[in-house]
Structures are given as structure tokens and as C-alpha cells.
Amino acid sequence: MLYPKNFEEKVGFDKVREKIKAHCLSDLGREKSANMKFSSSPDFIRMLIDQVKEFKEILDMEENFPMEHCINVRAALEKIRVEGQYMEQEEAFNLRLNQSTIRNILSFLKQKKSEGKYPGLYKLSRNVTVYPYITDRIDQILNNKGEIKDHASPELKRLRHEIASKETGVSARIDRIFKQLKQQGVVQEEASLAIREGRSVIPVETRMKRKISGVVQDESASGKTVYIEPTEIVEINNQLKELRYEVRREIIRIMVELANDLRPYIDELLQTNDFLGTIDFIRAKALFARDIHADKPAIVNHPHIRWNNAIHPLLYLNLKKENREVMPLDIALDNQKQRILVISGPNAGGKSVCLTTTGLIQYMFQCGMLVPVKPGSEMGIFKKLFINIGDDQSIENDLSTYSSHLVNMKNFIRHADDHSLILIDEFGAGTEPILGGAIAESILDRLNKKYALGLITTHYSNLKHFASSQEGIENGAMLFDTDKMSPLYQLTIGEPGSSFAFEIAKKIGLPKDVLDHASTKVGKQHINFDKNLKDIIRDKRYWEKKRQSIKEKEKKLDRMLNDYEGELESAQKMKKEVKKQAQEEAKALLDQANKKIENTIRQIRESQAEKEKTRQARQDIEKYKEQAIQNPKDQKIEKKLATLKNQKKKFAVRQEAPAETQEKPQKEKPLQKGDKVRLKDRDAVGEVMDVNDKSLLVAFGNMITTIDKDQLERISNKEYQKETRHLGTGASSQNFDMTRRKMDFRPELDIRGTRADEGLQRVKDFIDEAIMLNAGRVRILHGKGNGILRELVRNYLSAIDVVKHYRDEHVEYGGSGITVVEFDA
């Protein structure tokens, strides 16, 4: 039950209905929008809301839902119920498109059902059947442009062939006549043939028309030119006209035959047509839900309201255009302690908006729509909705504003029960305050005893006192900024609100003596009561700000803690990877050293300590020694180096060759920072990092050490590059750089607000880095907007072979504004 009859207009649902109609693709969907009704069946409401929620997920997650041709064919189908009636070509073609779209929708839902998606929409489609015979039969007659095919029947093919032949003959004859008339000067040189009523005609000046034998078919607006059909082609044109009539009759015969074939399927076709309209309607509701950021709340079967951050959808859309925000409301009503909420506060403070927000959201919900409340909200089911808001005075019925208000209260008391939601604005207003307040208090008591739920706004102090003393009734207040003297549009529950009448009057500029005189009229007791209310509101707002500040700081600390824990986990993981890699490299190096030692011993033994062979073996050992020095912390490598030194001493004793003479060193320029050097009698090469009096700071690969100057010799850059390639120091440096880049890499890129070319270049660099560092999964934040960045990013990702998959982020974490990219392992 809804009261009054114009309940939808009172809460603004008529405007919501129009916005949903605007999202529909067909008059079928718009028709269903117009017929949308309030329901009190929990199961039916759940079914409708699940369908809209699933379609909203399709809009957010899918890109190829098939709604190409949403066409209503009901009128054409109803027409051919009558024997002898037929569809026009356009109507038959629309039926073909209609059935094709429905078949694609059924196929889509069936495929997604196998993936465990959209069960509610699939259930809606289970009883819908599309017959391939229908589309095949239409395809026999119409081409893909909706035109009748030549071979739709043998007779039609013959007639069109004959028409084409005669038209060719007519064209040739009239061209010949036209040229002759030009040569004779009857027709001007710049003139050209024309068509009038389907006939080829020759434009001739009026003064020359007697020189041509034929029929005048038309003349120009000025009367200076006439259009003549030559006599010798008049008969042929008449034949063509008759042939075209025959073609039209044959087409009608074909379409009548098609109607006869389709007639047995009319009921099934109407059912599928209705299904298409339902899908269009659900899609429109889902689009509106996306516009207002609506979602599915928790649903309970009994009257109940517990809403978190509820917003008025129409007010949200209007303020969004001005880049302003709607203040959300937290509202709670139940059948136990808080059935009726009495809201007080200043004028223009948002009391009426709170009331209409409650009525509109509840009505939308029970019409099967998603509603703009935050997760954790709970919606109950009411069987009756009542509202009293605005001016319902009637001259015809001789009702004043207060009289109409009392008529509404009479109906509320008569019909209200524990399954009712009652919304009353400016309760008791419109008559003498003391008497009106007393009547309002009595009505409120009766409604409370009927266990009705509701929201009531008022300025009357007696109602505030009554609410604080009665079980089941709770006070509420719209907050007011006493410093700025402006409303905050925030609802708080538990304490009544002040009307701030004197403060607002003072701000407007009423004389102080007038206000002082008014204060004496009201009485000290009332003034103190109102003052205490203001103090309570001020203190509550102060502590609310404190609580909010602490809450925000706790959230910030939690985020920082999570970030630190994540970084620590990543560092520990990286440490394990680096350690494992180092161990593997050390093991490989030791294995190579063992083999080299064995090979060196074998060479020396075979050469019987021959000088050149021994020297070459020593040099090979020195090379592996330098490689081992790059990881001096590994105890196994240090032990192996000691073994190498002992082997070197043993083989040196066995050398029999005389000592080599050394040339006197040539006087050369002292070593400087940046010079390339080699350890004398060794293959270890490095770069001078710093110069002291007797020693140098030299970098050998990744190892930096201090060494005496007389142990080094200068080499050229070319020699240095050759030796570093040979010893593999470049690879070690690369490994070190890769390790550092892995530790610095973050698997998320934000390109919101960038230009298209700049954003795409950043994405390319980011993806290259991720591939090189073997990242398994990354996220790209591009925002929603007009979808330009999103399209550019996805076009680029589709061309990358190692990209395994990309998709929208989950709707709770950003939806289509974020692309998640996964790479091949």
C-alpha cells in the first residue's frame, strides 16, 4: 500500500523513472520502465536486485555483451495474426535482427553460466527459445541490407530481369534522341537528362517544345523549361510501369507466404521479444546504478533500516555537475528500541532531504533497484509506505494545509501497522503551536503503539521531550555550525536539535532589542533548554571531530605499517634470492677451480716442468684466483684459494729455468684517478678510484681495495675492455645491477592525468622493465574518464607476446579504472 496516490512524485521517484527510460535502447525497455511497480515480496525483490547487480558486473567487467539491435517487433507480430496480413520488408528485417540479438544474448549467458557467472540472468533466459527456422526463412527472402532478393521467387527473378533489359533499352534510345536534339539546336548544350515520376525525360525550353514529339511530364517553377518524354519511349515506359506493379504484387505474395509460415510461432516470438525488452530494462537500471554508485545491500525479510552513508541519488547527480558533494546519512530503524526517529534542527538544515532520501531509497529498493548505500547496510521489506510532505491544500475540497495534514494523519492511524514506514515532515505545523503540538504528540503516541517505523521532522519542543521519554522513539538532530552559522546537513542520533531561531535571526540582522524582547516573551526555561541543546550539539561536534581525526591517524598508521611489512617481506624474499644465486655461482666457480687445478697438475707433469708450460699454467690459476677473490666471504672459496697458493709454491720449486732478466722501467707519467691498471705478473685488471702518497684505491670488478703503486702497471682502455670481457666482470656488474633494480621495482604504474602519448610511453617502459625483471603480475592505473587511456593501454598490451592475460581490476578495488596484467611464467 502506498499513501498518498502521488507518493512517487512526493519522494522524486518519477524523475528516477525518467532517467532509467533515458538509458533504454528501445520502447520495449521504456515501456517496462513505465510499468515498474512497488513490491513487498522478499523473493521477488531479491531476484530483481540480483539481476541488476549481475548486469552491473557485466558493464564493469565485460566488453562484448550483444545488444546491437534492441528492436520491438510486437506490432508487426500482432498484425500478422490476422490471415492475409503481411509484414513490410523493414518489419521482417527488424524481426531478423531482433532474433539474432536474442540468440547472441542467450549464447553469452549460457557460456558465462558454465564459468559460474550471472546465474540470475541465466535463469531469466532458460525458458526463452529462438528457432533457427525463423531467421533462415527470412534470409531466403531478404539480403543483409533488408532488401528483397532477386531469387526470393522464380517469378520475381524473371520480372526484375525483364525490367533491367527494358531500362537498358530506354536508356540507349533516349540518349540517342538527346544527342540528336542537341545537334539540331533544340536542346541546349549544357542540359542533361532528368527523371520525373520514374520516367526519363528531356529538359527543353518552352519555346522549343513544339519541335519534339512526346508527352510533357513536368515543368520548372519559372515555367521556362518543360520536361518531355519522347513518343517512341512512352510505350516502353508504360510497360516498365506495369512490370513494376507486377513486381510489387509478387513481393506482397512472397511476404504473405512468409507471414503464413511465421504465424504458428507468434506466441514464442512475442515471448522472446518481451525477454529482449526485459534485458534492455535491466541494463538501464544497471547503468543508472553505476551513475549513482549504487550497490546491493544485505536484505532482511522484516521491516528494518540500517543504512551506512546513504545519499539522495537525484541530489547527488545535480551537485556532481557543480563539483559539489552530497552529505551522506546514517539511519537506523528497527522494531525494537528505535522504531520512530524524531528529527529536529534549523530550517534549511536538511531535515526534509533526510525524509525524502529515506522514502526514495526504500521505494527504489522495493522496485528492484540497487541503492546508493555503502557496504554493511541492511534493507528491510515494508508492506505499506506513507508520506506527508509539502502543501496538499485543496480549493476544490475546501481543505487548508493543516486540514489536509490531519486527513493524512487520520489515514496513517487507520492503516498503519508493524509493517509500515511513515514519513512526516513538519509534524504538527500549520496551526496554533500549543494545540498543534498536543495533537501531534497524541498521534505520535498512537503510531508508536502500532509499532510502525518512521521518520518525523519537527520544531516542537514537546515532541522532543516526548521522544526522549518514550520507548521506541528516538531523538535525532541535523547538525549546525555555530561558528559559521550555517547548517552541516549531517544527521546525528541520540539528542534533539535546536532550531537556532535567535541565532539565525541575529545573523539576518534583526534589531537586538527585538530579540531581547522576544527572549523575555519565550521565558527563561525555554531559553535555557534551547541553550543546553546548542551546547550539547557543539560539544558533540567537537568530540566527533576528535574521533574522526584519531580514526584517520589510525588508518594512516595502519597503511604505513602495511607498507613497511610489505617492504620487509620483499627485502627478505630478495635476500633469499640473492643468497641462493650467490651460492649457486660460488658452487659453479669452485667446480671450475677444481677442474682447473687438476688440469694444471696434469699439464705440468706431462711437460716435466717445462718453463713455458709451467708459466701458462700459473697464469690460468691466477685468473681463477682473481674470480674467486670477487666473493671473499665464502669460506669454501677462500679455502680453495689457499690450496691454489700451496700448489703454486710446490711447482715453483721444480722450475729449472734461469731467472729472466728484467728491463729497466722507463720513466712514465704517475698513475692518476681513472687510469686503467693491471696487477703485475697477473691478469687482474681494474680502474683507479683514488690516489694517495704510496698506495692507490683500485676497483677490481665489484671489489674495491687499497694496493701499493709498485704492484700495478698502466694499461690502455682497449686492453682493459678486452680483459674485463674475458674475466666476466661485466656480467657480475650486470647481475648486481639487476638485483638492485629488482629491489627498487614496484609492480604498479599510475598514468592518470597524463597525455595519451606520454602515458603510453610510460606504459611501454614499465612493461619492458617488468618483463626484464620477470614480474609475474602488475597493475596500471589509468582511470575511467572517456576510456582513451584504457583503450591505448589495452591495444598495446594485446601486441605483447609475453602478456598472458589482462583484465579489469575487481570492482571493489577500482574496476575498469585499473588494468591488471599477467605475464607468462
495, 477 contact by CB (below 8 A): yes
Candidates 3.40.50.300, 3.30.1370.110, 3.40.630.30, 3.40.50.720; CATH matching 746-823 = 3.30.1370.110
Q: Domain extents for the chain?
A: 2-151+259-291, 164-239, 298-508, 578-649, 676-738, 746-823
- What CATH class is the domain 298-508? alpha beta
Flag whether pLDDT at 192 surpasses 70.
yes
Rounded mean pLDDT of 220-241? 85
39, 366 contact by CB (below 8 A): yes
181, 188 contact by CB (below 8 A): no
Per-residue model confidence as pLDDT tens digits over 491-524:
888 777 665 565 556 666 677 676 666 666 665 5
285, 313 contact by CB (below 8 A): no
For residue 254, CA distances in Å to 93, 138, 151, 181, 242 come to: 14, 11, 11, 44, 19
Per-residue model confidence as pLDDT tens digits over 806-823:
988 887 778 888 999 998
* Residue with the three cell numbers 635476500: 575
Flag whether pLDDT at 89 surpasses 90.
yes
Residues 6+ apart with CB under 8 A from 403: 393
Q: What is the pLDDT of residue 396?
A: 44
Report the C-alpha gap between 731 and 742 in whole angstroms.
16
Confidence band (pLDDT; 50, 70, 90) for 135? very high
The segment with the largest mean pLDDT, out of 321-325, 594-598, 614-618, is 321-325
457, 348 contact by CB (below 8 A): no
Flag whether pLDDT at 727 surpasses 80.
no
Q: What is the pLDDT of residue 523?
A: 55
Cis peptide before 496 (omega within 30 of 0): no
Report the C-alpha gap between 324 and 735 in whole angstroms.
53
Q: Which region, left, alpha or beta, applies to residue 128 given φ > 0 means left and ψ of -120 to 50 means alpha?
A: beta
Flag whether pLDDT at 612 surpasses 50.
yes
The grid coordinates listed for 135 are 531467421
Please indicate whether the domains covering 2-151+259-291 and 676-738 agree at the CATH topology level.
no
Per-residue model confidence as pLDDT tens digits over 677-705:
887 766 678 888 778 776 777 777 656 66
Per-residue model confidence as pLDDT tens digits over 620-629:
656 655 555 4
Residues 6+ apart with CB under 8 A from 136: none
Flag whether pLDDT at 729 surpasses 60.
no
Convert 679-738 into a string of H (helix), E (strand) and C (coil): ECCCCCEEEEEEECCCEEEEEECCEEEEEEHHHEEEECHHHHHHHHHHHCHHHHHHHHHH
Q: How far is CA 256 from the centre of its chain?
A: 48
- What CATH class is the domain 676-738? mainly beta
CA-based diameter of the chain, in Å? 137
Given CA atoms 506, 510, 512, 515 in this order, what sign does their dihedral have?
Answer: negative
Q: How far is CA 503 from the centre of its chain?
A: 46
Flag whether pLDDT at 528 surpasses 60.
no
Report the C-alpha gap between 234 and 208 in whole angstroms.
20
Q: What rounded mean pLDDT belongs to the chain?
A: 81
Residues 6+ apart with CB under 8 A from 757: none
Helix axes 154-184, 231-262, angle to 10 degrees: 160
475, 494 contact by CB (below 8 A): yes
Report the C-alpha gap between 261 and 17 in whole angstroms.
39
Flag whether pLDDT at 394 surpasses 60.
no
SS3 802: coil
Per-residue model confidence as pLDDT tens digits over 40-50:
999 999 999 99
Q: Which of 13-17, 359-363, 609-613 has the lowest mean pLDDT?
A: 609-613
Per-residue model confidence as pLDDT tens digits over 155-180:
999 999 998 988 888 888 888 888 88
Higher pLDDT, 561 or 28: 28
Q: What is the pLDDT of residue 108?
A: 94
Rounded mean pLDDT of 320-326? 88
* Angle CA 249–254–255, to nearest 5: 95
Q: What is the pLDDT of residue 539?
A: 63
Flag whether pLDDT at 382 surpasses 90.
yes
SS3 472: strand
Per-residue model confidence as pLDDT tens digits over 746-767:
889 998 888 888 888 888 888 8
Q: What percent of the chain has pLDDT over 70?
A: 78
pTM: 0.61
Q: How far is CA 533 from the centre of its chain?
A: 45
Flag whether pLDDT at 611 surpasses 60.
no
Q: What is the CATH architecture of 164-239?
A: Orthogonal Bundle (1.10)
The grid coordinates listed for 630 are 670477487
Higher pLDDT, 676 or 290: 290
Confidence band (pLDDT; 50, 70, 90) for 788? confident
Report the C-alpha gap between 559 and 569 in whole angstroms.
15
Single out the residue of 203, 235, 233 nearest to residue 218, CA to CA.
Answer: 203
Confidence band (pLDDT; 50, 70, 90) for 637? very low
Q: Which of 139-153, 457-471, 621-635, 744-758 has the lowest mean pLDDT?
A: 621-635
**How many Cα neighbours within 13 Å face the side chain of 6?**
8
Report the C-alpha gap between 155 and 143 in whole angstroms.
18
Residues 6+ apart with CB under 8 A from 51: 120, 121, 124, 282, 368
Q: Measured between alpha carbons, how far apart are the two ends of the chain, in Å?
A: 61
The grid coordinates listed for 367 are 522496485
Helix axes 729-744, 524-607, angle to 10 degrees: 170
Phi and psi at residue 562, in whole multiples of 5°? -65, -40
Q: What percent of the chain has pLDDT over 90?
A: 37
The grid coordinates listed for 173 are 534510345
Given CA atoms 144, 148, 152, 154 in this order, what sign does their dihedral have?
Answer: negative
Break the chain down into helix, strand, coil percent, rounded to 5. Answer: 55, 15, 30
Phi and psi at residue 553, in whole multiples of 5°? -65, -40
- Strand ranges inside 97-235, DSSP E: 194-196, 199-205, 214-219, 225-230
66, 104 contact by CB (below 8 A): yes
Confidence band (pLDDT; 50, 70, 90) for 384? very high
310, 55 contact by CB (below 8 A): no
**How many Cα neighbours within 13 Å face the side chain of 766?**
21
Q: Find the length of the chain.
A: 825
- What CATH class is the domain 2-151+259-291? mainly alpha
Report the C-alpha gap between 160 and 151 in whole angstroms.
10
